[in-house]
């Protein structure tokens, strides 16, 4: 042994290298990205593409949560995807220049699995030596620093930390397509106003005439009952509790949704008596808390005599959007020009890709985004638009306030206003407030207003 | 002439209304001799704390509002003394006396009719000890009022954990002194106000409140010091709504009828400063301790609140305060958290903890006083043990007296030697019925304890003391007035102990009791005047609306009231329930009762009401069978089947049921037979 130690100090470079490998720290968190969602609230768009690959500006949606994780120094993420999409998903990384390793785990979406089912499916992939699991939805666009949330989680000795942010209405309205009523029933989150401790979580509309708060009378802090808080679907959960809840014999075994069922369950368990985890070192823990009154709850005292489960909400004041409806998708796309530096800092994706060919006689406004390989011909007028990669805008086309998906061709003479175009416009037409996903629905010289032009389902 | 000058002067007057007839008092053993607001707390009358605080907060004019009673002059003189020390520019105190003021609502209506209130004013109770920064609160109130004209009142709450400072021997404390509040997070507008009644502290929030505000701040148990900043609309609102009795009823009314009235109430939950009402004796004890521990700084024991001179010496190490003239025999080190008044002698062997001793007392060797509040000129001889009790002026405790917790020893009482006073006893020096009319208009506690001679088994051989029966509540006093033949057992098996006796009453209970009293009065009068049933119903319904009582409670009250109305006067003046009397009452009011009994469930309620009456007044027991028989057969209010069903289900499940069961077994048997016969006859006919 002494010899070996000496080797370490005086030894050859090989030995030093070996030492540096050994002191590499074990990962404390593992990330799971839930990207198998079908996008039920935006079926017009997800009929042709999985939700997680819908482009936000020029990048697929999935790149945003992955970059969020990468920014926090995570090296690996498990991505749950719908079966059959795993190849496309794993391409996202190289396509966007991310360095994070993606381990895609396909789930069979034919049975319409919930988020909890997805998690159960990949439970075996969660390493035994991590403390916490970060669960993030693929549709999250935020400028939060995950590191801050992780620090908050650890500092509070939290069992579960949920990222929340003030709910902000879309800035760009109206969204294209027919007028629909906004989705109203919002989540109810009850937190202790100062500490941010989560007291109650009720998923949208899942309440009656009254809402019963659990008894937390010992606390002095008033409770903030909020319906204006967005649950960003980013959770940091202790691995132990996640495994408990996902285990076969657990009370949650029939729960399908993590957010609507398992999260409220974990939160409610805080206030049930005897929620102590009985672990092998409980005796020790009780001794510690008995004799060392200065013990502060932290992650090192998971099963101290304090209530074992404590859930917190991290209240982020910045940008936090879930892109799960057409209005939010529309809004975030339109805002992407100003947001891209905030939500993807350091990712070199310029607003005008160098490979884009913009004719010098084309008028492209400053606040437009132009993707790689996109060709903008002369005498076109493009204001406040998002043109994804490999689009083609023919001469004499006029685009304003619109979003074009990848590989969209706009034939000459088209006028597109406030529309979402996901298929080539091969005929001259006028679009106002429309969503186009099927080019065969476009007829020459026609004007469309407030319509969804999508492929007609076969059974009609 | 010079209106401009007036304009400048008028708005600067900040008024405060101090109610001295606080909603709850300390029991007749204390308040009979001294009004509650003049009871000394750490040797300073409670009212002085309030006045001193208001003065410091820049209040210009204080209206001390009291009900006309023998203590009024004392309060007047006290206020005069307080202000006489101040110069012209000091605080003005005006004592307003009213003949018939039962609650806060009455006081507001009276002040409104006298138009004494000019602008925004502070409304508080006279037993409040507080150091909150009123100026900030009032400024914020005015600011809010400027931006929102519909806002008429700011209620002030203190957010502090009550549990952590719980005083020993107190159960269920804080349940009426706290409120559950739901406010709009952005404006502080009060959306829901609820008195947390039961211990299960789950709060349910109506989800419709989300329409009013997307973010609600919920205070599960905010301490309510009964402090409010009111605009001039509040008194007018009280006078428009005669059924508003308390501030709570105003809150309820304004919140429920927001659309109708167009008013709103805001809350300020204060985090800093001290505020606590010495509302009950338990709270009195708690506030005493907190004042001694200097939580109400700058109102501390050593400085006189009237003259601001330093009157006591203060030892921060043991938290003891003593007047320089107090004598401690050498070597006394047994005091911690104690206040000792002028000229008091404390022997070396006496141990004082968390206690207050007034002026000119003597505490002999071996006296142990824990949380004892000893007034002036008290002699306590060796070996006495006092804990959590109140000892009035001029009390003499002979050797070896043990005063248990919750006891109140009224002025002039002698006790001992070697007696133990059971917990929660109230003792007075004179036989209770010799008292001049006390603070309560209803409680000339005459017949309740007609013992002329002091009972040595209670107060010891040298003693002179009479037990004052615990007043459960106003209602029980009334009951005792009405029936009174019974000797204290009427307190009921579950209510006799000290805690309940000293427990305060919530407003709901209060209004229920008031309702009961009114119904009883109506019925008694109606019987005398032989009023028509419709008029009686009208009268009862009017009371019902005034107090907002549920139909079920009405039925229970009416049933019991009818039976109580049937008491007959005995020769010695007391009353006794006899069958002939009850029978006439039943005959008289059968139609009234019938009016309220509409469905089968109502019949059960009547039966339960009768059973509950037996719990309170077992002397009705012999008549039960006859009552039921008549209600069933003569008046046909109760159906036989219902009675049998009720009987088999075990009645209302009170303690009285077993005795009732035996006494009506015969009747039930007969009924069962009767119904079988009926069935038979039905069969035959069909």
Instruction: Give the nearest partner residue to B159 out of A188, A211, A222, using CB atoms.
Output: A222
**CA of A200 vs chain B CAs: smallest distance (Å):** 12
Which tokens go with B249? 């009823």
Using CB atoms and an 8 Å cut-off, which of residues 247-286 of chain B contact chain A?
Answer: 269
Instruction: Give the nearest partner residue to A226 out of B163, B182, B215, using CB atoms.
Output: B215
How far separated are the first and last CA of chain A, in Å rounded? 78
Tens-digit pLDDT profile for residues B5-15: 444 445 578 99
Which tokens go with B301? 């024991």
Interface membership of A203 toward B (CB under 8 Å): no
pTM: 0.70
pLDDT of residue B475: 40
pLDDT of residue A89: 86
Run of H or E including B373: strand B368-374
**B498 compared with A319, residue with greater pLDDT:** A319
**CA of A321 vs chain B CAs: smallest distance (Å):** 19
Which tokens go with A262? 């398992």
- pLDDT band of residue B261 (cuts 50, 70, 90) is confident
- pLDDT band of residue A133 (cuts 50, 70, 90) is very high
Contacts of A313 in chain B (CB under 8 A): none
Average pLDDT value for chain B: 79
**B509 compared with B606, residue with greater pLDDT:** B606
Tens-digit pLDDT profile for residues A288-297: 666 665 555 5
Helix (H, G, I), strand (E, B) or coil at B211: helix
Instruction: Give the nearest partner residue to A224 out of B204, B215, B269, using CB atoms.
Output: B215
Which tokens go with A136? 């993030």
DSSP string for residues in B171-204: -STTTTTEEEEEEETTT-BEEEEEE--SS---EE
Contacts of A186 in chain B (CB under 8 A): 214
**A305 compared with A445, residue with greater pLDDT:** A445
Helix (H, G, I), strand (E, B) or coil at A81: strand
- Residue in chain B closest to A219 (alpha carbons) equals B161
Non-local CB neighbours of B640 within 8 Å, separated by 6+ positions: B632, B671, B674, B675
CA atoms B621, B622, B625, B628: torsion sign: negative
- The DSSP letter of residue B70 is T
- Residue in chain B closest to A222 (alpha carbons) equals B219
Tens-digit pLDDT profile for residues B595-644: 888 777 788 888 888 888 887 777 777 788 888 888 888 888 888 888 88
C-alpha to C-alpha distance for A79 and B210, rounded to whole angstroms: 37
Q: Which residues pair with A313 in a beta bridge?
A: A162
Question: Of A101-115, A302-316, B472-486, which gets the smallest average pLDDT?
Answer: B472-486
C-alpha to C-alpha distance for A433 and A428, rounded to whole angstroms: 16
Q: How many CA atoms within 13 Å lie on the side-chain side of A20?
A: 6
When pLDDT is averaged across residues B44-70 and rounded to a whole number, the result is 90
**A236 compared with B557, residue with greater pLDDT:** A236
Rounded to the nearest 5°, which phi and psi values hold at A162? -110, 135
pLDDT of residue B247: 87
Rounded to the nearest 5°, which phi and psi values hold at A14? -60, -40
Helices (H) and strands (E) in chain B, counts: 22, 33
pLDDT of residue A24: 58
Interface membership of A213 toward B (CB under 8 Å): yes
Interface membership of A185 toward B (CB under 8 Å): no
The 3 state secondary structure assigned to B271-294 is CCCCEEECCCHHHHHHHHHHHHCC
C-alpha to C-alpha distance for B657 and B662, rounded to whole angstroms: 9
C-alpha to C-alpha distance for B301 and B293, rounded to whole angstroms: 9
Tens-digit pLDDT profile for residues B520-576: 888 888 887 777 788 888 888 888 877 777 778 888 888 888 888 777 655 555 566
**CA of B208 vs chain A CAs: smallest distance (Å):** 7
pLDDT of residue B306: 83
pLDDT of residue B611: 83
Non-local CB neighbours of A268 within 8 Å, separated by 6+ positions: A200, A214
**A68, pLDDT greater than 70:** yes
Tens-digit pLDDT profile for residues B108-149: 998 998 888 888 999 999 999 999 999 999 999 999 999 998
**φ/ψ bin of A379: left (φ > 0), alpha (ψ from -120 to 50), beta (otherwise):** left
Rounded to the nearest 5°, which phi and psi values hold at B27? 95, 150
When pLDDT is averaged across residues A195-224 and rounded to a whole number, the result is 79
Instruction: Give the nearest partner residue to B207 out of A207, A217, A218, using CB atoms.
Output: A207
**CA of A165 vs chain B CAs: smallest distance (Å):** 13
Q: Which of A213, A218, A224 best probes binding to B when mutated, by most B CB atoms within 10 angstroms? A: A213
Contacts of B175 in chain A (CB under 8 A): none
Burial of residue A288 (CB within 10 Å: 0-12, 13-18, 19+) is middle
% of chain B beyond a pLDDT of 90: 21
Instruction: Give the nearest partner residue to B204 out of A212, A222, A228, using CB atoms.
Output: A212
- The DSSP letter of residue B165 is G
**A36, pLDDT greater than 80:** yes
Dihedral angle at the C-alpha atoms of B298, B302, B308, B310, nearest 10 degrees?
-130
* Residue A440 CA from chain centroid, whole number: 33
Instruction: Give the nearest partner residue to B221 out of A214, A217, A225, using CB atoms.
Output: A217
Contact between A438 and A455 (Cβ < 8 Å): yes
- pLDDT band of residue B500 (cuts 50, 70, 90) is very low
Q: State yes or no: cis peptide before A174, omega within 30 of 0.
A: yes
**A152, pLDDT greater than 70:** yes
When pLDDT is averaged across residues B39-52 and rounded to a whole number, the result is 92
Using CB atoms and an 8 Å cut-off, which of residues 224-283 of chain A contact chain B?
Answer: 224-229
Contact B200 A215 (CB under 8 A): yes
The strand ranges marked E within B239-342 are 264-270, 275-277, 313-315, 320-322, 327-328, 335-340
**φ/ψ bin of B370: left (φ > 0), alpha (ψ from -120 to 50), beta (otherwise):** beta
Rounded to the nearest 5°, which phi and psi values hold at B536? -60, -45
**CA of B439 vs chain A CAs: smallest distance (Å):** 37
When pLDDT is averaged across residues B75-91 and rounded to a whole number, the result is 83
Residue at token pair 């007043």: B471
Its ipTM equals 0.78
Going by C-alpha positions, the residue among B593, B522, B514 that lies closest to residue B549 is B514
Rounded to the nearest 5°, which phi and psi values hold at B498? -65, -40
pLDDT of residue A64: 92
C-alpha to C-alpha distance for B453 and B461, rounded to whole angstroms: 12
* Residue B508 CA from chain centroid, whole number: 11
C-alpha to C-alpha distance for A93 and A77, rounded to whole angstroms: 11
Radius of gyration of chain B (CA): 28
Going by C-alpha positions, the residue among A453, A340, A319 that lies closest to residue A386 is A340
**B64 compared with A289, residue with greater pLDDT:** B64
Tens-digit pLDDT profile for residues B195-215: 765 555 677 888 888 888 888
**CA of B23 vs chain A CAs: smallest distance (Å):** 26
The 3 state secondary structure assigned to B93-110 is EEEEEECCCCCHHHHHHH
Contacts of B220 in chain A (CB under 8 A): 213, 215-217, 219, 222-223
Helix (H, G, I), strand (E, B) or coil at B631: helix
C-alpha to C-alpha distance for A128 and A220, rounded to whole angstroms: 38
**B168, pLDDT greater than 50:** no
**B359, pLDDT greater than 90:** yes
When pLDDT is averaged across residues B240-250 and rounded to a whole number, the result is 87
Contacts of A216 in chain B (CB under 8 A): 220
Run of H or E including A142: strand A140-142
pLDDT of residue A58: 83
The strand ranges marked E within B23-75 are 40-41, 44-45, 61-67
pLDDT of residue A150: 93
Instruction: Give the nearest partner residue to A209 out of B159, B160, B207, using CB atoms.
Output: B207
**CA of A192 vs chain B CAs: smallest distance (Å):** 9
Contacts of A210 in chain B (CB under 8 A): 204-207
pLDDT of residue B438: 43
% of chain A beyond a pLDDT of 70: 83
pLDDT of residue B439: 43
When pLDDT is averaged across residues A107-114 and rounded to a whole number, the result is 85
**B387 compared with B444, residue with greater pLDDT:** B387
C-alpha to C-alpha distance for A423 and A409, rounded to whole angstroms: 7
Interface membership of B214 toward A (CB under 8 Å): yes
- pLDDT band of residue B333 (cuts 50, 70, 90) is low
pLDDT of residue B442: 45
Rounded to the nearest 5°, which phi and psi values hold at A405? -80, 180
CA atoms A336, A342, A347, A353: torsion sign: positive
**B363 compared with B552, residue with greater pLDDT:** B363
C-alpha to C-alpha distance for A122 and B660, rounded to whole angstroms: 68
When pLDDT is averaged across residues A266-291 and rounded to a whole number, the result is 63
**CA of B223 vs chain A CAs: smallest distance (Å):** 11
The 3 state secondary structure assigned to A326-350 is HHHHHHHHHHHHHHHHHHCCCCCCC
When pLDDT is averaged across residues A232-258 and rounded to a whole number, the result is 87
**A34, pLDDT greater than 90:** yes
Contact between A433 and A450 (Cβ < 8 Å): yes
Contact between A100 and A110 (Cβ < 8 Å): no
Run of H or E including B577: strand B575-577
Residue at token pair 């002059």: B73
Question: Of A231-245, A406-420, B407-421, B601-615, which gets the smallest average pLDDT?
Answer: B601-615
C-alpha to C-alpha distance for B301 and B305, rounded to whole angstroms: 9
Question: Of A175-184, B80-89, B280-289, B457-466, which gets the smallest average pLDDT?
Answer: A175-184
Tens-digit pLDDT profile for residues B408-454: 999 999 988 889 988 888 888 888 764 444 444 444 444 444 446 77
């Amino acid at each position: 042994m002494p010899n070996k130690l000496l080797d370490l100090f005086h030894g050859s470079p090989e030995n030093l290298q070996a030492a540096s490998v050994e002191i590499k720290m074990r990962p404390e968190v593992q990330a799971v990205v839930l990207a198998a969602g079908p996008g039920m609230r935006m079926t017009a768009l997800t009929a042709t593409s999985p939700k997680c690959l819908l482009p936000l500006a020029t990048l697929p949606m999935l790149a945003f949560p992955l970059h969020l994780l990468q920014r926090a120094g995570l090296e690996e993420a498990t991505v749950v995807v719908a079966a059959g999409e795993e190849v496309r998903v794993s391409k996202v990384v190289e396509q966007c220049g991310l360095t994070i390793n993606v381990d895609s785990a396909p789930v069979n979406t034919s049975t319409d699995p919930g988020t909890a089912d997805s998690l159960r499916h990949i439970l075996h992939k969660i390493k035994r030596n991590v403390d916490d699991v970060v669960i993030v939805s693929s549709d999250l666009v935020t400028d939060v620093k995950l590191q801050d949330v992780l620090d908050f989680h650890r500092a509070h000795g939290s069992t579960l930390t949920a990222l929340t942010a003030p709910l902000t209405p879309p800035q760009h309205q109206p969204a294209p397509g027919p007028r629909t009523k906004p989705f109203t029933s919002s989540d109810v989150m009850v937190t202790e106003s100062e500490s941010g401790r989560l007291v109650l979580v009720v998923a949208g509309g899942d309440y009656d005439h009254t809402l019963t708060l659990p008894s937390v009378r010992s606390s002095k802090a008033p409770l903030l009952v909020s319906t204006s808080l967005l649950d960003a679907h980013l959770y940091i959960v202790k691995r132990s509790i996640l495994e408990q809840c996902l285990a076969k014999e657990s009370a949650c075994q029939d729960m399908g949704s993590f957010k609507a069922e398992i999260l409220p369950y974990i939160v409610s368990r805080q206030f049930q008596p005897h929620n102590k985890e009985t672990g092998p070192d409980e005796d020790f823990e009780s001794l510690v808390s008995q004799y060392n009154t200065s013990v502060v709850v932290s992650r090192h005292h998971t099963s101290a005599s304090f209530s074992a489960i404590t859930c917190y909400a991290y209240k982020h004041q910045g940008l936090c959007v879930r892109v799960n409806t057409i209005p939010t998708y529309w809004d975030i796309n339109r805002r992407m020009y100003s947001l891209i530096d905030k939500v993807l800092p350091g990712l070199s994706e310029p607003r005008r890709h160098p490979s884009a060919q913009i004719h010098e006689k084309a008028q492209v406004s400053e606040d437009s985004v132009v993707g790689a390989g996109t060709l903008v011909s002369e005498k076109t007028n493009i204001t406040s638009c998002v043109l994804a990669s490999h689009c083609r805008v023919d001469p004499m086309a006029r685009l304003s306030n619109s979003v074009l998906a990848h590989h969209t061709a706009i034939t000459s003479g088209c006028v597109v206003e406030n529309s979402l175009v996901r298929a080539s416009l091969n005929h001259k037409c006028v679009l106002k407030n429309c969503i186009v996903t099927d080019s065969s629905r476009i007829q020459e010289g026609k004007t469309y207003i407030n319509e969804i032009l999508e492929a007609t389902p076969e059974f009609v | 002439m010079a209106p401009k000058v007036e304009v400048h002067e008028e708005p600067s007057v900040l008024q405060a209304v101090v109610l001295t007839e606080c909603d709850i008092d300390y029991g007749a053993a204390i308040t009979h001799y001294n009004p509650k607001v003049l009871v000394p707390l750490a040797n300073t009358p409670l009212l002085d704390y309030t006045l001193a605080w208001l003065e410091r907060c820049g209040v210009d004019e204080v209206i001390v509002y009291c009900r006309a009673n023998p203590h009024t002059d004392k309060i007047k003189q006290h206020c005069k003394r307080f202000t006489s020390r101040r110069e012209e520019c000091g605080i003005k105190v005006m004592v307003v006396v009213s003949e018939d003021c039962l609650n806060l609502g009455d006081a507001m209506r009276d002040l409104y009719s006298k138009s004494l209130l000019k602008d925004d004013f502070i409304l508080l109770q006279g037993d409040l000890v507080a150091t909150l920064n009123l100026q900030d609160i009032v400024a914020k109130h005015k600011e809010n009022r400027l931006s929102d004209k519909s806002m008429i009142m700011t209620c002030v709450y203190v957010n502090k954990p009550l549990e952590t400072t719980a005083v020993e021997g107190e159960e269920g404390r804080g349940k009426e002194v706290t409120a559950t509040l739901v406010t709009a997070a952005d404006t502080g507008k009060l959306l829901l106000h609820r008195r947390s009644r039961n211990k299960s502290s789950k709060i349910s929030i109506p989800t419709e409140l989300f329409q009013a505000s997307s973010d609600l701040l919920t205070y599960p148990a905010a301490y309510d010091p009964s402090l409010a900043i009111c605009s001039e609309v509040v008194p007018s609102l009280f006078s428009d709504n005669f059924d508003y009795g308390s501030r709570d009823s105003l809150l309820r009314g304004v919140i429920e009828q927001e659309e109708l009235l167009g008013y709103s109430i805001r809350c300020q939950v204060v985090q800093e400063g001290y505020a606590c009402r010495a509302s009950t004796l338990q709270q009195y004890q708690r506030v005493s301790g907190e004042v001694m521990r200097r939580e109400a700084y700058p109102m501390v024991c050593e400085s006189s609140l009237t003259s601001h001179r330093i009157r006591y010496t203060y030892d921060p190490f043991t938290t003891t305060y003593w007047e320089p003239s107090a004598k401690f025999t050498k070597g006394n080190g047994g005091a911690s958290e104690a206040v000792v008044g002028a000229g008091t002698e404390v022997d070396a062997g006496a141990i004082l903890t968390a206690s207050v001793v007034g002026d000119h007392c003597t505490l002999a060797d071996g006296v142990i006083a824990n949380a004892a509040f000893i007034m002036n000129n008290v002699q306590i001889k060796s070996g006495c043990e006092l804990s959590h009790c109140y000892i009035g002026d001029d009390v003499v405790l002979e050797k070896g007296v043990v005063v248990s917790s919750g006891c109140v020893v009224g002025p002039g009482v002698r006790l001992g030697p070697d007696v133990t006073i059971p917990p929660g006893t109230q003792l007075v020096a004179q036989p209770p019925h010799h008292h001049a009319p006390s603070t309560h208009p209803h409680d000339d506690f005459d017949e309740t304890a007609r013992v002329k001679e002091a009972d040595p088994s209670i107060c010891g051989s040298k003693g002179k003391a009479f037990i004052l029966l615990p007043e459960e509540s106003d209602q029980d006093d009334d009951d005792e007035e009405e029936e009174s033949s019974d000797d204290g057992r009427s307190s009921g098996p579950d209510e006799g102990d000290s805690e309940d006796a000293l427990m305060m009453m919530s407003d709901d209970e209060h209004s229920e009791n008031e309702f009961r009293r009114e119904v009883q009065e109506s019925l008694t009068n109606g019987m005398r005047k032989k009023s028509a049933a419709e008029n009686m119903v009208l009268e009862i319904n009017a009371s019902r609306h005034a107090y907002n009582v549920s139909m079920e409670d009405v039925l229970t009250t009416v049933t019991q009231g009818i039976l109580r109305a049937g008491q007959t006067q005995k020769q010695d003046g007391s009353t006794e329930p006899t069958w002939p009397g009850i029978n006439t009452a039943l005959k008289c009011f059968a139609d009234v009762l019938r009016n309220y009994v509409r469905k089968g469930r109502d019949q059960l309620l009547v039966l339960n009401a009768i059973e509950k009456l037996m719990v309170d007044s077992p002397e009705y027991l012999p008549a039960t069978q006859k009552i039921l028989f008549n209600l069933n057969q003569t008046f046909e209010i109760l159906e036989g089947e219902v009675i049998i069903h009720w009987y088999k289900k075990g009645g209302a499940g009170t303690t009285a049921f077993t005795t009732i069961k035996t006494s009506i077994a015969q009747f039930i048997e007969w009924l069962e037979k009767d119904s079988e016969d009926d069935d038979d006859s039905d069969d035959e006919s069909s």
